[in-house]
Structure 1
Amino acid sequence: MAIKATIHKAQLQIADMDRGIYGDHNVIIARHPSETDERMMIRLLAFALNVPGDDKRGNLEFAKDLWDVDEPALWHKDYTDAVLHWIDVGQPDDKRLMRAAGRAERVSVYSFSSSTPVWWKGIESKLTRAANLIVWQIEAAQSQALAKLAERGMQLQITIQDGTVWMSTGSESVEITPRRLTAGG
Protein backbone atom coordinates (compact mmCIF):
# COMPACT_ATOMS: atom_id res chain seq x y z
CA MET A 1 0.00 0.00 0.00
CA ALA A 2 1.38 3.41 -0.99
CA ILE A 3 2.06 6.02 1.64
CA LYS A 4 -0.29 8.96 1.27
CA ALA A 5 0.48 12.67 1.32
CA THR A 6 0.50 14.54 4.62
CA ILE A 7 -1.75 17.58 4.67
CA HIS A 8 -0.33 20.83 6.04
CA LYS A 9 -2.37 23.99 6.48
CA ALA A 10 -0.86 27.44 6.56
CA GLN A 11 -2.34 30.83 7.24
CA LEU A 12 -0.08 33.34 5.52
CA GLN A 13 -0.17 37.05 6.25
CA ILE A 14 1.81 38.55 3.39
CA ALA A 15 3.09 42.12 3.26
CA ASP A 16 5.06 42.45 0.01
CA MET A 17 6.23 46.04 0.02
CA ASP A 18 8.33 45.50 -3.11
CA ARG A 19 5.23 44.74 -5.22
CA GLY A 20 2.62 46.56 -3.12
CA ILE A 21 0.72 43.34 -2.41
CA TYR A 22 -0.85 42.72 0.99
CA GLY A 23 -3.21 39.95 2.00
CA ASP A 24 -4.10 36.90 3.99
CA HIS A 25 -4.00 33.50 2.32
CA ASN A 26 -5.15 30.16 3.71
CA VAL A 27 -3.31 27.42 1.85
CA ILE A 28 -3.41 23.66 2.02
CA ILE A 29 -0.26 21.80 1.06
CA ALA A 30 -0.25 18.12 0.22
CA ARG A 31 3.24 17.04 1.21
CA HIS A 32 4.48 14.04 -0.77
CA PRO A 33 6.02 11.26 1.39
CA SER A 34 9.43 11.93 -0.19
CA GLU A 35 9.30 15.69 0.37
CA THR A 36 11.30 17.26 3.20
CA ASP A 37 10.20 20.11 5.47
CA GLU A 38 12.84 22.24 3.76
CA ARG A 39 11.39 21.72 0.27
CA MET A 40 7.82 22.25 1.47
CA MET A 41 8.79 25.54 3.10
CA ILE A 42 10.56 26.66 -0.09
CA ARG A 43 7.25 26.03 -1.89
CA LEU A 44 5.53 28.29 0.66
CA LEU A 45 8.23 30.90 0.16
CA ALA A 46 7.77 30.71 -3.62
CA PHE A 47 4.01 31.16 -3.12
CA ALA A 48 4.58 34.28 -1.02
CA LEU A 49 7.03 35.77 -3.51
CA ASN A 50 4.76 35.20 -6.50
CA VAL A 51 1.15 35.43 -5.32
CA PRO A 52 -0.71 37.88 -7.56
CA GLY A 53 -2.35 40.96 -6.09
CA ASP A 54 -5.75 39.94 -7.46
CA ASP A 55 -7.43 37.08 -9.29
CA LYS A 56 -8.25 38.91 -12.53
CA ARG A 57 -5.87 36.63 -14.46
CA GLY A 58 -6.40 33.46 -12.41
CA ASN A 59 -4.78 32.14 -9.25
CA LEU A 60 -1.46 30.80 -8.08
CA GLU A 61 -1.88 27.16 -7.04
CA PHE A 62 0.23 24.37 -5.62
CA ALA A 63 0.67 21.73 -8.31
CA LYS A 64 1.66 18.05 -8.19
CA ASP A 65 5.27 18.06 -9.36
CA LEU A 66 6.29 15.08 -7.22
CA TRP A 67 3.32 13.04 -8.48
CA ASP A 68 3.18 14.27 -12.09
CA VAL A 69 6.28 15.16 -14.11
CA ASP A 70 4.19 17.45 -16.34
CA GLU A 71 3.43 19.81 -13.46
CA PRO A 72 5.60 22.27 -11.54
CA ALA A 73 5.66 22.88 -7.78
CA LEU A 74 3.31 25.86 -8.30
CA TRP A 75 1.65 27.46 -11.24
CA HIS A 76 -0.39 30.50 -12.04
CA LYS A 77 -2.96 29.59 -14.67
CA ASP A 78 -5.51 31.91 -16.20
CA TYR A 79 -9.17 31.04 -16.62
CA THR A 80 -8.52 29.46 -20.03
CA ASP A 81 -6.00 27.08 -18.38
CA ALA A 82 -3.01 28.82 -20.02
CA VAL A 83 0.08 28.76 -17.80
CA LEU A 84 1.13 32.30 -16.97
CA HIS A 85 3.86 31.37 -14.47
CA TRP A 86 5.54 27.98 -13.97
CA ILE A 87 7.42 27.73 -10.66
CA ASP A 88 9.80 24.87 -9.86
CA VAL A 89 11.80 24.28 -6.71
CA GLY A 90 15.03 22.33 -6.43
CA GLN A 91 17.32 21.60 -9.36
CA PRO A 92 15.29 20.62 -12.43
CA ASP A 93 17.17 19.55 -15.55
CA ASP A 94 17.59 21.77 -18.60
CA LYS A 95 15.11 19.79 -20.74
CA ARG A 96 12.34 20.27 -18.18
CA LEU A 97 13.08 23.99 -17.96
CA MET A 98 13.12 24.45 -21.75
CA ARG A 99 9.75 22.65 -22.00
CA ALA A 100 8.37 24.89 -19.25
CA ALA A 101 9.76 28.01 -20.98
CA GLY A 102 7.90 27.06 -24.13
CA ARG A 103 4.68 26.38 -22.26
CA ALA A 104 4.47 29.35 -19.85
CA GLU A 105 4.79 33.12 -20.09
CA ARG A 106 7.26 33.08 -17.18
CA VAL A 107 9.33 30.38 -15.49
CA SER A 108 10.94 30.70 -12.06
CA VAL A 109 13.15 28.23 -10.21
CA TYR A 110 13.99 28.39 -6.51
CA SER A 111 17.06 26.26 -5.82
CA PHE A 112 17.98 25.78 -2.17
CA SER A 113 20.75 23.20 -1.97
CA SER A 114 24.38 23.91 -1.18
CA SER A 115 25.13 22.31 -4.57
CA THR A 116 23.19 25.01 -6.46
CA PRO A 117 26.33 26.66 -7.94
CA VAL A 118 27.50 23.32 -9.37
CA TRP A 119 24.04 22.50 -10.78
CA TRP A 120 23.65 25.97 -12.28
CA LYS A 121 27.12 25.96 -13.87
CA GLY A 122 26.26 22.65 -15.54
CA ILE A 123 23.04 23.82 -17.20
CA GLU A 124 23.32 27.62 -17.54
CA SER A 125 24.69 27.56 -21.10
CA LYS A 126 21.90 25.19 -22.21
CA LEU A 127 19.20 27.70 -21.22
CA THR A 128 20.31 30.80 -23.12
CA ARG A 129 17.21 30.68 -25.38
CA ALA A 130 14.85 30.73 -22.38
CA ALA A 131 14.51 34.52 -22.05
CA ASN A 132 11.46 34.05 -19.77
CA LEU A 133 13.40 32.04 -17.15
CA ILE A 134 14.57 33.37 -13.78
CA VAL A 135 16.61 31.18 -11.43
CA TRP A 136 16.90 32.10 -7.75
CA GLN A 137 19.29 30.67 -5.19
CA ILE A 138 18.25 30.40 -1.56
CA GLU A 139 21.31 29.91 0.63
CA ALA A 140 21.29 26.43 2.20
CA ALA A 141 21.59 27.82 5.75
CA GLN A 142 18.52 30.02 5.14
CA SER A 143 16.41 27.19 3.71
CA GLN A 144 17.43 24.89 6.57
CA ALA A 145 16.41 27.55 9.10
CA LEU A 146 13.12 27.92 7.24
CA ALA A 147 12.53 24.16 7.55
CA LYS A 148 12.52 24.53 11.34
CA LEU A 149 9.33 26.63 11.09
CA ALA A 150 7.40 23.74 9.47
CA GLU A 151 4.38 22.37 11.31
CA ARG A 152 1.13 20.66 10.30
CA GLY A 153 -0.73 23.88 11.10
CA MET A 154 1.17 27.12 10.59
CA GLN A 155 0.46 30.79 11.04
CA LEU A 156 3.17 32.73 9.25
CA GLN A 157 3.76 36.43 8.87
CA ILE A 158 5.75 37.14 5.73
CA THR A 159 7.28 40.53 5.05
CA ILE A 160 9.08 41.25 1.79
CA GLN A 161 11.10 44.43 1.42
CA ASP A 162 14.09 45.36 -0.76
CA GLY A 163 14.43 41.77 -1.97
CA THR A 164 14.65 40.31 1.54
CA VAL A 165 11.98 38.09 3.06
CA TRP A 166 11.26 37.72 6.77
CA MET A 167 9.13 34.72 7.64
CA SER A 168 7.94 34.58 11.23
CA THR A 169 5.79 32.35 13.41
CA GLY A 170 5.53 35.04 16.08
CA SER A 171 8.13 33.37 18.30
CA GLU A 172 10.71 32.51 15.61
CA SER A 173 11.83 34.42 12.54
CA VAL A 174 13.96 33.58 9.52
CA GLU A 175 15.52 36.06 7.11
CA ILE A 176 15.85 34.91 3.49
CA THR A 177 17.56 36.81 0.70
CA PRO A 178 17.00 35.10 -2.66
CA ARG A 179 19.91 35.70 -5.05
CA ARG A 180 19.11 35.95 -8.74
CA LEU A 181 21.35 33.78 -10.93
CA THR A 182 19.91 34.70 -14.35
CA ALA A 183 19.60 37.86 -16.37
CA GLY A 184 16.41 36.70 -18.17
CA GLY A 185 12.76 36.98 -17.26
Structure 2
Amino acid sequence: MALKSTIYKAELQIADMDRHYYADHALTVARHPSETDERMMVRLVAFALFAHERLEFAKGLSDTDEPDLWQKDLTGAVQKWIEAGQPDEKRIAKASSRADDVVVIAYGGKTSDIWWQAVRGKIERLRNVRVWSLAPGTAEALASLAARTMRLQVTIQDGAAWVGSTDAEPVAIEWTVLKAPAA
Protein backbone atom coordinates (compact mmCIF):
# COMPACT_ATOMS: atom_id res chain seq x y z
CA MET A 1 0.00 0.00 0.00
CA ALA A 2 1.39 3.38 -1.00
CA LEU A 3 1.97 5.97 1.67
CA LYS A 4 -0.06 9.15 1.39
CA SER A 5 1.13 12.72 1.69
CA THR A 6 0.81 14.43 5.04
CA ILE A 7 -1.21 17.62 4.92
CA TYR A 8 0.07 20.77 6.63
CA LYS A 9 -1.84 24.03 6.99
CA ALA A 10 0.14 27.25 7.00
CA GLU A 11 -0.96 30.81 7.47
CA LEU A 12 1.74 33.09 6.07
CA GLN A 13 1.77 36.77 6.85
CA ILE A 14 4.22 38.26 4.36
CA ALA A 15 5.72 41.73 4.61
CA ASP A 16 8.12 42.10 1.69
CA MET A 17 9.40 45.64 1.88
CA ASP A 18 11.79 45.11 -1.03
CA ARG A 19 8.93 44.39 -3.47
CA HIS A 20 6.20 46.27 -1.57
CA TYR A 21 4.19 43.07 -1.28
CA TYR A 22 2.07 42.69 1.84
CA ALA A 23 -0.38 39.82 2.03
CA ASP A 24 -1.74 36.96 4.08
CA HIS A 25 -1.85 33.51 2.51
CA ALA A 26 -3.72 30.47 3.82
CA LEU A 27 -1.80 27.53 2.33
CA THR A 28 -2.30 23.80 2.27
CA VAL A 29 1.01 22.01 1.83
CA ALA A 30 1.15 18.31 0.97
CA ARG A 31 4.36 16.77 2.31
CA HIS A 32 5.37 13.82 0.13
CA PRO A 33 6.18 10.65 2.16
CA SER A 34 9.83 10.86 1.07
CA GLU A 35 10.10 14.57 1.88
CA THR A 36 11.76 15.92 5.03
CA ASP A 37 10.57 18.79 7.19
CA GLU A 38 13.60 20.74 5.95
CA ARG A 39 12.59 20.46 2.31
CA MET A 40 8.94 21.23 3.00
CA MET A 41 9.89 24.36 4.94
CA VAL A 42 12.31 25.45 2.19
CA ARG A 43 9.36 25.19 -0.23
CA LEU A 44 7.27 27.30 2.13
CA VAL A 45 10.01 29.94 2.40
CA ALA A 46 10.41 29.91 -1.39
CA PHE A 47 6.70 30.71 -1.60
CA ALA A 48 7.19 33.64 0.76
CA LEU A 49 10.28 34.97 -1.03
CA PHE A 50 8.55 34.97 -4.43
CA ALA A 51 4.94 35.44 -3.28
CA HIS A 52 2.49 36.46 -5.94
CA GLU A 53 -1.26 36.06 -6.30
CA ARG A 54 -0.77 33.35 -8.96
CA LEU A 55 2.16 31.51 -7.34
CA GLU A 56 1.10 28.01 -6.29
CA PHE A 57 2.48 24.71 -5.12
CA ALA A 58 2.83 22.14 -7.88
CA LYS A 59 3.32 18.38 -7.69
CA GLY A 60 7.12 18.59 -7.41
CA LEU A 61 8.39 15.25 -6.12
CA SER A 62 5.28 13.43 -7.31
CA ASP A 63 5.57 14.50 -10.96
CA THR A 64 8.78 15.01 -12.94
CA ASP A 65 7.01 17.45 -15.28
CA GLU A 66 6.16 19.93 -12.53
CA PRO A 67 8.29 22.04 -10.17
CA ASP A 68 7.83 22.56 -6.46
CA LEU A 69 6.16 25.91 -7.13
CA TRP A 70 5.11 27.72 -10.24
CA GLN A 71 3.46 30.88 -11.35
CA LYS A 72 1.47 30.88 -14.57
CA ASP A 73 0.03 33.79 -16.48
CA LEU A 74 -3.63 33.96 -17.46
CA THR A 75 -2.96 31.96 -20.64
CA GLY A 76 -1.35 29.09 -18.69
CA ALA A 77 2.22 29.91 -19.75
CA VAL A 78 4.75 29.32 -16.96
CA GLN A 79 6.28 32.58 -15.79
CA LYS A 80 8.23 31.30 -12.78
CA TRP A 81 9.46 27.76 -12.05
CA ILE A 82 10.87 27.18 -8.54
CA GLU A 83 12.79 24.10 -7.43
CA ALA A 84 13.95 23.35 -3.87
CA GLY A 85 16.95 21.12 -3.33
CA GLN A 86 19.50 19.87 -5.81
CA PRO A 87 17.83 19.00 -9.13
CA ASP A 88 19.93 17.52 -11.91
CA GLU A 89 21.04 19.69 -14.81
CA LYS A 90 18.59 18.03 -17.25
CA ARG A 91 15.63 19.02 -15.07
CA ILE A 92 16.91 22.60 -14.82
CA ALA A 93 17.50 22.80 -18.59
CA LYS A 94 13.98 21.49 -19.22
CA ALA A 95 12.57 24.08 -16.82
CA SER A 96 14.61 26.78 -18.57
CA SER A 97 12.93 25.95 -21.87
CA ARG A 98 9.42 25.93 -20.33
CA ALA A 99 9.48 29.00 -18.08
CA ASP A 100 10.45 32.66 -18.29
CA ASP A 101 12.26 32.57 -14.92
CA VAL A 102 13.73 29.52 -13.17
CA VAL A 103 14.79 29.63 -9.53
CA VAL A 104 16.68 26.87 -7.74
CA ILE A 105 17.01 27.14 -3.97
CA ALA A 106 19.66 24.67 -2.90
CA TYR A 107 20.28 23.72 0.71
CA GLY A 108 22.35 21.19 2.60
CA GLY A 109 25.70 22.83 3.30
CA LYS A 110 28.58 20.75 1.90
CA THR A 111 26.31 18.52 -0.20
CA SER A 112 24.89 21.64 -1.81
CA ASP A 113 28.43 22.83 -2.62
CA ILE A 114 29.30 19.46 -4.17
CA TRP A 115 26.08 19.50 -6.22
CA TRP A 116 26.80 23.01 -7.50
CA GLN A 117 30.33 22.11 -8.60
CA ALA A 118 28.92 19.14 -10.53
CA VAL A 119 26.20 21.08 -12.41
CA ARG A 120 27.68 24.56 -12.60
CA GLY A 121 29.24 24.28 -16.06
CA LYS A 122 25.99 23.17 -17.64
CA ILE A 123 23.78 25.64 -15.75
CA GLU A 124 25.93 28.75 -16.30
CA ARG A 125 24.87 28.99 -19.97
CA LEU A 126 21.13 29.06 -19.17
CA ARG A 127 20.18 32.74 -19.27
CA ASN A 128 16.89 32.60 -17.33
CA VAL A 129 18.11 30.52 -14.38
CA ARG A 130 19.11 31.77 -10.96
CA VAL A 131 20.55 29.56 -8.24
CA TRP A 132 20.60 30.40 -4.56
CA SER A 133 22.20 28.38 -1.81
CA LEU A 134 20.80 28.66 1.71
CA ALA A 135 23.37 29.17 4.45
CA PRO A 136 24.32 25.99 6.33
CA GLY A 137 21.90 25.29 9.16
CA THR A 138 19.07 27.40 7.71
CA ALA A 139 16.95 24.45 6.54
CA GLU A 140 17.40 22.71 9.89
CA ALA A 141 16.36 25.86 11.76
CA LEU A 142 13.30 26.16 9.52
CA ALA A 143 12.38 22.53 10.25
CA SER A 144 12.09 23.46 13.93
CA LEU A 145 9.13 25.68 12.94
CA ALA A 146 7.30 22.83 11.16
CA ALA A 147 3.94 21.83 12.62
CA ARG A 148 0.75 20.41 11.14
CA THR A 149 -0.83 23.84 11.68
CA MET A 150 1.50 26.82 11.37
CA ARG A 151 1.07 30.56 11.66
CA LEU A 152 4.23 32.19 10.35
CA GLN A 153 5.29 35.79 9.87
CA VAL A 154 7.79 36.46 7.08
CA THR A 155 9.63 39.75 6.86
CA ILE A 156 11.80 40.60 3.86
CA GLN A 157 13.86 43.78 3.84
CA ASP A 158 17.09 44.87 2.16
CA GLY A 159 17.71 41.43 0.65
CA ALA A 160 17.36 39.63 3.99
CA ALA A 161 14.48 37.56 5.33
CA TRP A 162 13.20 36.30 8.68
CA VAL A 163 10.56 33.72 9.47
CA GLY A 164 8.98 33.68 12.88
CA SER A 165 6.08 32.26 14.81
CA THR A 166 4.53 32.92 18.19
CA ASP A 167 6.01 29.63 19.46
CA ALA A 168 9.66 30.02 18.42
CA GLU A 169 12.49 32.44 17.88
CA PRO A 170 12.69 33.96 14.38
CA VAL A 171 14.88 32.18 11.85
CA ALA A 172 17.12 34.32 9.66
CA ILE A 173 17.01 33.18 6.04
CA GLU A 174 20.45 33.74 4.59
CA TRP A 175 21.51 32.75 1.09
CA THR A 176 24.32 33.11 -1.38
CA VAL A 177 23.58 33.84 -5.02
CA LEU A 178 25.47 31.18 -6.97
CA LYS A 179 24.06 32.24 -10.33
CA ALA A 180 22.04 35.28 -11.30
CA PRO A 181 19.93 35.40 -14.47
CA ALA A 182 21.65 36.97 -17.45
CA ALA A 183 20.91 40.64 -18.02
Question: For this structure pair, what is the TM-score category when the shorter chain's length is used for normalisation?
Answer: over 0.9
Check if 1:94 corresponds to 2:78.
no
- Residue 115 of structure 2 is aligned to residue 133 of structure 1: no
Provide Cα deviations, 1:74-125, integer angstroms capped at 9, x if missing partner.
0001121110000000000111101100100000001111211111111111
Q: Determine the structure 1 residue equivalent to 2:114.
A: 118
| CA distance, structure 2, for counterparts of residue 4 and residue 171 of structure 1 | 28
Distance 1:104 1:36 in 2: 27
Match of 1:69 in 2: 64
The CA distance in 1 between the partners of 2:156 and 2:180, in whole Å, is 21
User: Any residues of structure 2 matched to 1:77-88 within 5 Å, and which?
Assistant: 77-88=72-83
Residue in 1 aligned with 2:163? 167
Report whether the alignment pairs 1:156 with 2:162.
no
C-alpha contact 1:86 1:107 (8 A) present in aligned 2 = yes
The alignment of Structure 1 onto Structure 2 pairs a total of residues equal to 180
Letter in 2 for 1:159: T
Q: CA deviation at 1:171?
A: 3.2
Identity of aligned residues (%): 51
- How far has the Cα of 1:21 moved from its partner? 0.5
Query: Take 1:119 and 1:138, find their aligned partners in 2: how far apart are those partners?
Result: 13
Conserved 8 A contact 1:163-1:177: no
SS at match of 2:115: helix
* Structure 2, unpaired ranges of 5+: none
Deviations 1:1-36 (A, max 9, x none): 111111000000000011110010000001101111
- SS of alignment partner, residue 105 of structure 1: strand
Deviation of the 1:128 alpha carbon: 2.7
Deviation at 1:140, TM superposition (A): 2.8
Q: Pick the structure with more strand per residue.
A: 2
What TM-score, normalized to structure 1? 0.94
2:132/2:176 contact within 8 Å kept: yes
* TM-score, normalised via structure 2 length: 0.95
Give 1:127 shift: 1.6
